[in-house]
Structure formats: structure tokens, C-alpha cells
Amino acid sequence: MDGSATNVLADLNTAYGHRTLQILKVRQDLNHAIQEAYTDLVSTTGLVAGDNGYNGEYAFASDTLRPIRAEISYDGLTWKPAEVYDLNENPNSEFDDVNDGFDTSRPFVRFERDSYFIRPTSTTAVTSGIHIWYEKRQTDLTTDSPAFEANLHDTLAYDLAELEVMMHPDRYDKKWKDAFYKKKEELENMFNDFFKNRFKRNFRLKSKSENYK
């Protein structure tokens, strides 16, 4: 493109990021690029605005694309899945007596401004008391390989080639461009079809009673 290896690597990682988002958009595998993490459930006693855990707010991990699930343990022994709620679904204040209407037997979480808010909060610290699952942002490439199906890695080469055509359109005639975009479209369809159909099935979790029928 512009002859700079540094810029080519930057463009490659931009294309890699776009491909990661495309996979998440078309996939049937709901757990693609999923990451698990634990963090401490902190005591809110004595916290001030800006502290992690203040008002039940915890910052996302720096590589979070989208949160998927949260489980909370208020005693370090038992875990409860946190139900997701919207800010306007809570009829009580989110700043005064924030635990009104919430109970540790049924925790809730809301996602806002790259943070998650745990309800109810806790006055007891629990080591690794919050378990989070989230879709992970890709790690920039240096000398390693993309973290998706190896048979489709050449899509990134075509993505870079398209940038080259856009930067230097006069170098390529219509016949070449027609052949290039035809091949790129075929590869694009292959890419999307693979991730759409890789785990194509109906997911349904049976209850215990159904399992014994």
C-alpha cells in the first residue's frame, strides 16, 4: 500500500477487528470468543465515588466487547446467576438505599458506561465473589495467527488487497478488478456460511423434571 510495514500491520489489525465483529454478528456459536473472569465482591463500606465497587459499580475488563453473564457469591460458597435489569425498571433510587427491592437470594446486574452494577451491594468483602463471562476483543497480531478458523485466514489478505486497490486504483484494470472482487465475494460468502452454520442447532436447556420424563 504505502510501503510502510508498520502501517500494513496496523491495517491488518483493523481488518482483524472487523472480522472479529463480523463473526460475532453472524455466528450460531453463542460462546465464540468468550472469556471468563473473576473479581472480588468488595464491601461498599467507606467507599467514595471513583472507587471500584462504589454504588455497586465495577469496571469492565479492558478487553470486553460485550458482557454475557454474571454470577454472584455473597458468602464465597454459593453462587447465583444475576438477572439483567434496565435502569428504568427499578422504581427505587439508584443512589439512596440502593438495595431496596433487592435480595442476595436473587441478585441483579445492569450494564452501563463500560461498567456493571451489582444489586444488592455487599457490606462484606468476598474474594472472587463476582464471576463474569464476556465476549473478548481480539489481541492485535504481531507474529502470531488470527484466533479464528485457519482455513479462512486468507480473508484478511483479501481485506488488505482491497485497501491497496482503493489506495492505488490506477494500477489495476477493470478485468483484474472484476476477477478480484468475484473471488473476494466467494470468500466472503464462505466466511459467513462457516460461522453461521458451525454450531447450527436449537439450544434448549431441559429442567430436571423434563430430564426424568
Q: Is the dihedral of CA 111, 116, 117, 120 positive or negative?
A: positive
Query: Could you give the CA distance from residue 83 to residue 92 in angstroms, rounded to a whole number?
Result: 17
Domain segments of the chain as ranges: 5-30+139-197, 34-136
Residues 51-101: pLDDT tens digits? 999 999 999 999 999 999 999 999 999 999 999 999 999 999 998 899 999
Higher pLDDT, 210 or 186: 186
Q: Check whether 213 has a pLDDT greater than 50.
A: no
* Long-range CB pairs of 151-155, under 8 A, 24+ apart, other chains included: 152/187, 152/190, 152/191, 152/194, 154/187, 155/19, 155/187, 155/188, 155/191
Residues 169-209: pLDDT tens digits? 999 999 999 999 999 999 999 999 998 887 766 556 565 55
Instruction: Supply the Cα-derived Rg of the chain in whole angstroms.
Output: 23
pLDDT of residue 3: 77
CA angle 37/43/46 to nearest 5° reads 135
